Amino acid sequence: MSSQHSHHAVVTGLAAAGAVPFGAFVVLALTGTATAFALHGLLIYSLAILCFLAGSWWGLALLMAEVTSRQRGWILVLSNGVVVLAVTATLLLPPRFAVFALGAMYLLLLSGEASIVGLQRQPDYYRNMRLRVSMFAVGAHVLVGLANVSVPA
């Protein structure tokens, strides 16, 4: 196996493993086994993943040779903005609303990666994987949020 193929396998495997908790929280919520636990667990896990993804923008911005200083600054500000928004939503919104807000932030990150100079340079395998996993995460947020409509905030 080539080192490049091995690298792809590791990235894809880690992404698949990272999607498992999203699915587990959906199962818990939809079966009624632990609906409130699923909501709170998803919020905590999602916040961690959003911080990780936004943090990767920070690291990439520091290494991008093709962006201007101003573009780099905007990427750094936006990466921090995503984290601040996610934390604020988690702390201030009722949990059943915060879960929808965090789900929407995955779409915000995907949009940024598709439109911001420098972040667009993702390999095809990674872009496709990120789209699939992000859509799975968004779906998990919607399903867990809907399962918690009758749970007190």
Q: What confidence tens digit (pLDDT) does each residue in 76-104 have?
A: 999 999 999 999 999 999 999 999 999 99
Which residue spans within the chain are E strands per DSSP? none
Q: What share of the chain is helix, strand, coil (3-state, %, to 5)?
A: 85, 0, 15
% residues pLDDT > 90 (the chain): 71
pTM: 0.91
Is the distance from CB of 55 to CB of 109 less than 8 angstroms? no
Average pLDDT in the 46-70 region?
A: 92
- What integer best gives the mean pLDDT of the chain? 91
| Cα–Cα distance measured from residue 153 to residue 148, given in angstroms and rounded to the nearest whole number | 9
| Cα–Cα distance measured from residue 47 to residue 53, given in angstroms and rounded to the nearest whole number | 10
Q: What ranges do the domains of the chain cover?
A: 3-147
